[in-house]
Amino acid sequence: MDSLNSLLDGFGTALTPINLLWAAIGVLLGTAIGVLPGIGPAMAVALLLPVTYGLEPTGAFIMFAGIYYGAMFGGSTTSILLNTPGESAAVVAAIEGNPMAKAGRGAQALAAAAGGHFAGGMIGTILLVVLAPTVAELAVDIGAPDYFAIMVLAFIAVTSVLGSSRIRGLASLLIGLTLGLVGLDQMTGQQRLTFGSLQLADGIDVVIVAVGLFAIGEALWVAAHLRRSSGDAIPVGRPWLARSDVKRTWKPWLRGPVIGFPFGAIPAGGAEIPTFLSYVTEKRLSKHQDEFGKGAIEGVAGPESAASASAAGTLVSMLTLGLPTTAVAAVMLAAFQQYGIQPGPLLFEREPDLVWGLIASLFVGMVLLLALNLPLAPLWAKLLRIPRPYLYAGILFFAAVGAYAVGGEAIDLVILLIIGLIGFGMRRYGLPVLPAVIGVILGPAAEQQLRRALQISDGSAAGLVNTPFSVTVYAVIVVLLAWPWLKKLIVRSRPAA
Amino acid sequence: MSSTKSTTQTPDRRAWLREHSELGVGALLLVIGVLVLTDALTMDVDIAQRGPVGPTTVPIAVGIGLLVVAVLLAFDVLRGGRGEAEGGEDIDLSEPSDWRTVLLLAGVFLANAVLIGPLGFPISGALLFWGSAYALGSRRVDRDPLIAAVLSVVTYFVFNNLLGVPLPGGPLMGVL
């Protein structure tokens, strides 16, 4: 009941004309940038971060929420019309969506995707409203050892669940942790890795790391391998669904969140796994199995709904624990830190207006998304034809604006370029980018919790495992680490049994 | 490489190095690891120490981690493991890397960092956009500079005047 009242207050915040305007601008900008080929949600959010710098926090985050959902919807538009997904979560949308578009049913594919985003986002956000305050309440009591355990879990999960090579994931994480060490030590003020430079004593801003790795790294990497003939986007009319389509999509729309939401809340790579699981589920349950692979509408509706719900799930752990589980959440956390706000269990007590305004604006954003994007879809489709030199020149241009806006220092642009070159090398040699970003953001926080925990226990390592919660988390970590061997054992024992 | 047939040793080694260029990543991690460890071990912590864990503990752990991962990665590469180059919608991996474009872009970007102070954002930003588009293969001399100038000036006004994010105007804005 309490959270319902808070939510109503939140709507009071979100529905003021100025905040509605920010939400609408956010949705439009997010979709426009997300539609552009080569720009996934994480890069869109990182590039658009400076747009919010001049706003007060509530307005900034309301705009941000719009950008997030808009970028996700924009990404699936690219997948469907161009068959070239910009990020892993949109791969599934391309499997069925692109054949539909080729068969002249692009409008229906987009409508199924939009409906999926709306349904998944709505259900996911309702679950967020119900669960987040409870999680935050439980989390208020957890102490330094528990936090440290959660962060170790995030590090391990992000390096060993994602990507094909654990060693490369670990290398990426360590690069991130190293970047996070640069600057003054939070507890003693000791200079670390600054090499006497005053510039580095402030540390490397997380926004610069995110923009460098996501935007500059990607632009340089694409530039090195630019496809001279880019694929043709399929033109599309205004999205709509016939009654027979709705009959086939409403169940997948409702099933998607069940799969998507829990996966979003845990550090398991965001929307990648749930969209795939949802696809497999829909394929199994469908009455039109023969259509799968050739353009089955269920295969668009379910996964898109799952992806959208997983975004809401991501917000649960981000807002209540300060734990980013996806690249987008990592950038959002950086945005919070920019305002000196630390997401975590106390956020709901300290900044109720901000949090509930943000959550309410998620609902507003989704309605706006549906209302604005369906009529505008033909226009978005035109954006796919932007000449590639302009596109990537534009990414570099706005990345420079963003990095400069952080502190107004030209040296930040040089640091940005160096981090961008690191990002380039990481893409070349298959080091995943996400562990590095998580390392930069969570590294300093994890160190602080570790030192706090050991201070309380007077240096005894037992102080790290003296709560049931932390012991449980470490048990999960052991299972995660041992999983490849466990899997082998299970596979081996099965034929024998 | 067909002209170096007489010295078969060199192209062989070169091919081997190209094949195993990922060892460079291991070497880089090793260097960073040594750097982090040296920095941590030369730190003067006697006065700063508060609590059982000082400011050097985590850097030492990260440094050792970097060294270990560097060695493990080298082993993995020598055993035939390869990091998969990232694909994407505008990426054609069948062609070799186009280093010229990457270096040009990096140069243009650096020039922007140097010029943003003296020239101001509207001019340096326009040069950044035009230069990048040129490096990426756009040769529309009639259209590109115009787009760059409009984009840069509009961005300047939107950020500086509408959004309240200050950008340096430079002499151009001083004149206007």
Q: Which residues of B touch A435 (CB under 8 A)?
A: none
pLDDT of residue B2: 43
Provide the β-strand partners of residue B134: none
- Under the banding of pLDDT at 50, 70 and 90, the label for residue A173 is very high
Domain that holds residue B18: 2-78
CB A309 within 8 A of CB A98: no
Q: What is the mean pLDDT of residues A236-244?
A: 73
Q: Same domain for B105 and B74?
A: no
pLDDT of residue B110: 92
CB A210 within 8 A of CB A48: no
Q: Please tell me the distance from the alpha carbon of residue A101 to that of residue A85, in angstroms, as a whole number.
A: 14
pLDDT at A496 over 70: no
Q: Is residue B93 part of a domain?
A: no
Instruction: Tell if the CB–CB gap between B98 and A219 is shorter than 8 Å.
Output: no
Q: Same domain for B73 and B105?
A: no
- Under the banding of pLDDT at 50, 70 and 90, the label for residue B6 is very low
Q: What number of CA atoms fall less than 13 Å from residue A128's CA on the CB side?
A: 34
Angle in degrees, 0-180, between the axes of helices A298-321 and A57-82, rounded to the nearest 10: 150
The residues, ordered by sequence, that sit 6+ positions from A29 with a Cβ below 8 Å of its Cβ are A48, A51, A66, A67, A70
Q: Which residues of A touch B122 (CB under 8 A)?
A: none
- Under the banding of pLDDT at 50, 70 and 90, the label for residue B67 is very high
Nearest-Cα distance to chain A for B140, in Å, is: 11
For A400, the closest of B85, B128, B133 (CB atoms) is B128
How many C-beta atoms lie closer than 10 Å to residue A268's C-beta? 19
Provide the β-strand partners of residue A400: none
Q: Which residue of A has its CA nearest to B66?
A: A174
Q: Which residues of A touch B84 (CB under 8 A)?
A: 164, 430
**SS3 call for A272:** helix
- Under the banding of pLDDT at 50, 70 and 90, the label for residue B47 is low
Q: Same domain for B56 and B109?
A: no
Q: Same domain for B110 and B70?
A: no
Dihedral angle at the C-alpha atoms of A108, A112, A118, A122, nearest 10 degrees? 150
Number of H helices, E strands in chain A: 21, 2
The highest-confidence range among A82-86, B41-45, B73-77, by mean pLDDT, is: B73-77
Q: Which residues of A touch B32 (CB under 8 A)?
A: 175, 178
Residue A186 exposed, middle or buried by CB count within 10 Å (0-12, 13-18, 19+): middle
What six digits make up the tokens of A225? 């391998």
pLDDT of residue B57: 84
Q: Is residue B86 part of a domain?
A: no
Q: Per this entry, what is the length of chain B? A: 176
pLDDT at A230 over 60: no
Instruction: Tell if the CB–CB gap between A455 and B91 is shorter than 8 Å.
Output: no
Phi/psi at A183 (5° precision): 120, -165
- Under the banding of pLDDT at 50, 70 and 90, the label for residue B4 is very low
Picking from B34, B60, B136 by the largest number of A CB atoms within 10 A of its own CB, the best residue to mutate is B136
- Under the banding of pLDDT at 50, 70 and 90, the label for residue B3 is very low
Lowest mean pLDDT among A72-81, A151-160, B89-98: B89-98
Under DSSP, the state recorded for A163 is S
Distances (CA, A) of A243 to A117, A247, A250, A373: 19, 6, 11, 21
The string of pLDDT tens digits covering residues A358-415 is 888 888 888 888 888 778 878 877 777 788 888 889 889 988 988 888 778 888 899 9
pLDDT of residue B8: 54
**SS3 call for A364:** helix
Q: Please tell me the distance from the alpha carbon of residue B63 to that of residue B35, in angstroms, as a whole number.
A: 8
Q: Same domain for B122 and B157?
A: yes
pLDDT at A248 over 90: no
Choose the final residue of a domain: B49, B78, B107.
Answer: B78
Q: Is residue B94 part of a domain?
A: no
- Where helices occur in A83-143 by DSSP H, the ranges are 91-100, 106-140
What six digits make up the tokens of A12? 């009071």
Give the total number of structural domains in chain B.
2
Instruction: Tell if the CB–CB gap between B106 and A421 is shorter than 8 Å.
Output: yes
- Under the banding of pLDDT at 50, 70 and 90, the label for residue A442 is confident
Choose the final residue of a domain: B15, B43, B78.
Answer: B78
The string of pLDDT tens digits covering residues A326-354 is 888 888 888 888 788 888 888 888 888 88
pLDDT at A88 over 70: no
The string of pLDDT tens digits covering residues A100-118 is 888 878 888 888 888 888 8
The string of pLDDT tens digits covering residues B90-122 is 777 777 778 888 999 999 999 999 888 888 888
The string of pLDDT tens digits covering residues A295-328 is 788 888 888 888 888 888 888 888 888 888 788 8
pLDDT of residue B89: 64
Q: What is the mean pLDDT of residues B61-67?
A: 92
Q: By percentage, how much of chain A surpasses pLDDT 90?
A: 7
pLDDT of residue B1: 41
What six digits make up the tokens of A60? 């900034």
Nearest-Cα distance to chain A for B7, in Å, is: 30
For A190, the closest of B43, B73, B151 (CB atoms) is B43
Q: Same domain for B67 and B27?
A: yes
Under DSSP, the state recorded for A464 is G
Helix (H) or strand (E) holding A183: strand A183-184
Q: Is residue B89 part of a domain?
A: no
Instruction: Report which of residues A239 and A181 the model is more confident about.
Output: A181
Q: Please tell me the distance from the alpha carbon of residue A362 to that of residue A168, in angstroms, as a whole number.
A: 36
DSSP secondary structure string for all residues of A397-409: HHHHHHHHHHHS-
Q: Which residues of A touch B133 (CB under 8 A)?
A: 389-390, 393
Q: Is residue B148 part of a domain?
A: yes
Q: Same domain for B68 and B7?
A: yes
- Under the banding of pLDDT at 50, 70 and 90, the label for residue A142 is confident
Q: Name residue A170's amino acid.
A: L
pLDDT at A497 over 50: no
Nearest-Cα distance to chain B for A61, in Å, is: 15
As a whole number, the mean pLDDT across chain B is 82
Q: What is the mean pLDDT of residues A17-22?
A: 87
Q: Which residues of A touch B120 (CB under 8 A)?
A: none
Q: Same domain for B67 and B134?
A: no
Instruction: Report which of residues A393 and B167 the model is more confident about.
Output: A393
Q: Is residue B53 part of a domain?
A: yes
CB A239 within 8 A of CB A374: yes
Nearest-Cα distance to chain B for A329, in Å, is: 22
CB A419 within 8 A of CB A213: yes
Q: Same domain for B113 and B152?
A: yes
Q: Is residue B111 part of a domain?
A: yes
As a whole number, the mean pLDDT across chain A is 82
